[in-house]
Amino acid sequence: MLRNIFIKRINSGKTQRGYPPIYRRVTSSRVLQISAVLLIAFLLIGLAALSFGSARIDLTRVFGCLFHAMGGSQSCSPQDELILFSIRLPRIFFAAITGAALSLGGVVFQAILRNPLADPYVLGVSGGSALGAIIGTLIGAGSFYLGIPLLAFLGALITVALVFVIAGGGSGRIPDNYLLLAGVIVNAFFSAAILFFLSLADSMELHSITFWLMGDLARVSGSGIIPAAFCVLVAFVMIYSQARGLNLMVQGEETARQLGVMVEKTKYTLLIITSLATAVVVSLCGIIGFVGIIVPHMMRLLFGSDHRLLICASALFGATFLVVADTIARIIIAPAELPVGVITALLGAPYFIFLLRRKAF
């Protein structure tokens, strides 16, 4: 009875905070069809991205090298093979992983906090990761295997713990606005700490740290990509298993409780999973902003707010979006490169204006 009333209310379009209606005849076949289209688009764009860079490689040579790598008879020069398989392909793969993780973070945070401005950094994960990486750079942790990423990841873990302690104060139930305020507080503290450590860095360290803070995919090695891919895949599976709960929580916690969702357990679980998945990629590539806001909003406008479809669409389009942004960053001032965070920030500001004009907030 309650569920029928709930679905009728959602289908009438009376959702909270400007979200589009959730139930738009979303079926398993529709999810698979849209996911297949987005996956094909990602593969085509990823293939095109292989040919762009400071050294242009036309698509015929790209195809030749790909067939050569698969055992074909086509030839591939050693220089093309080095550029494609040692530099560009791992970078495109990691850009896709990072874009998917940040987009999933935006979907989850916006649903749980019922705030369309929420993104993976709303709980201070970026500040904690940045502080850990800066400390690692200053103490020379870069000379150890994954030294700086591990310290950045540890900073993110401490951040998540601090946010929950500040927001919860030992109680079991945490209001959404308390989490937001706790994230702002922790971020403010870490921003001050980052400025302090930047003042201690020498010129070479300062350049390295500055690039990391703006988001830099160029330094990621193959040894870091595989663990990141595994973590993001596990996070995706766990988040998708809670799609129904997210659909209900968007409408309010009381409504979700009445329909059988264990709200506090779901909130804790998803916030921790999403924060840690985000921390994994941020610890490797730095702070890349706006992806977690832009991508979920675009997919919500196109496909509606049903998380059974929104989660898949956001992950796939987020991967494509960051591959495109990174490709632009590689070619816009070639042979030099821009940090990809600069491109996402430049794209994010006009998109905010677009959303405001549509009264999306």
The predicted-structure confidence for 220-269, as pLDDT tens digits, reads as follows 777 778 888 999 999 999 999 999 888 888 887 777 788 788 888 888 88
Q: Write down the pLDDT at residue 328.
A: 93
| Cα–Cα distance for residue pair 267/239, rounded to 1 Å | 11
In a domain, 63, yes or no: no
Percent of the chain with pLDDT over 90: 25
Read off the amino acid at residue 339: P
Scored b (16 or more CB within 10 A) or e, 24-48 reads eebeeeebeebeeebeeebeebbee
In a domain, 225, yes or no: yes
More confident residue, 318 or 361: 318
Secondary structure letter of residue 332 according to DSSP = T
Residue count (the chain): 361
Looking up residue 273, the CATH number of its domain turns out to be 1.10.3470.10
In a domain, 290, yes or no: yes
In a domain, 331, yes or no: yes
Taking residues 16-40, report their average pLDDT.
76
Q: Write down the pLDDT at residue 9.
A: 46
| Cα–Cα distance for residue pair 135/151, rounded to 1 Å | 8
Q: Write down the pLDDT at residue 237.
A: 96
Q: In this structure, what token pair is assigned to residue 126?
A: 């970026």
Q: Write down the pLDDT at residue 170.
A: 54
In a domain, 6, yes or no: no
pLDDT for 12 beyond 60 = no
Greatest mean pLDDT range, 4-13, 75-84, 206-215, 220-229: 75-84
The CA dihedral of 66, 322, 340, 219, to the nearest 10 degrees, is -50
Residue 211 C-alpha from the chain's centroid: 18
Q: Write down the pLDDT at residue 361.
A: 44
Q: Write down the pLDDT at residue 169.
A: 58
Q: Most distant CA pair in the chain: distance in Å?
A: 67
pLDDT for 23 beyond 80 = no
Interval 69-96: pLDDT, tens: 887 777 788 888 888 988 899 999 999 9
Read off the amino acid at residue 251: Q
| Cα–Cα distance for residue pair 307/322, rounded to 1 Å | 21
Domain count for the chain: 1
| Cα–Cα distance for residue pair 285/328, rounded to 1 Å | 17
Q: Are 297 and 318 in contact (CB under 8 A)?
A: no
| Cα–Cα distance for residue pair 275/121, rounded to 1 Å | 9
Q: Write down the pLDDT at residue 163.
A: 82
Q: Write down the pLDDT at residue 17.
A: 46
The answer to which of 42-56, 207-221, 241-255, 312-326 has the lowest mean pLDDT is 207-221
Determine phi and psi for 202, rounding to 5 degrees. Answer: -85, 180
Taking residues 34-56, report their average pLDDT.
92
Interval 162-198: pLDDT, tens: 887 887 755 556 666 777 788 888 888 888 888 888 8
In a domain, 232, yes or no: yes
Q: Write down the pLDDT at residue 268.
A: 82
Q: Give pairs for 143-146: CB < 8 Å, separation 24+.
A: 145/223, 146/223, 146/224
Using CB atoms within 10 Å of the CB of residue 303, give its burial: 0 to 12 exposed, 13 to 18 middle, 19+ buried: buried
Q: What is the mean pLDDT of the chain?
A: 82
Structural domain harbouring 109: 25-47+86-357
Q: Write down the pLDDT at residue 171.
A: 55
* Confidence category of residue 118, pLDDT binned at 50, 70, 90: confident
* Confidence category of residue 13, pLDDT binned at 50, 70, 90: very low
In a domain, 69, yes or no: no
Q: Write down the pLDDT at residue 175.
A: 66
Q: Write down the pLDDT at residue 160.
A: 79
Using CB atoms within 10 Å of the CB of residue 84, give its burial: 0 to 12 exposed, 13 to 18 middle, 19+ buried: buried
pLDDT for 53 beyond 90 = no
Q: Write down the pLDDT at residue 44.
A: 95
Q: Write down the pLDDT at residue 1.
A: 44
| Cα–Cα distance for residue pair 87/232, rounded to 1 Å | 22
More confident residue, 73 or 39: 39
Taking residues 141-160, report their average pLDDT.
79
Q: How far is CA 9 from CA 5, 17, 23, 136, in A?
A: 6, 15, 10, 52
pLDDT for 351 beyond 90 = no
In a domain, 31, yes or no: yes
pLDDT for 315 beyond 80 = yes
Q: How far is CA 286 from CA 22, 132, 185, 216, 289, in A?
A: 34, 11, 21, 6, 10
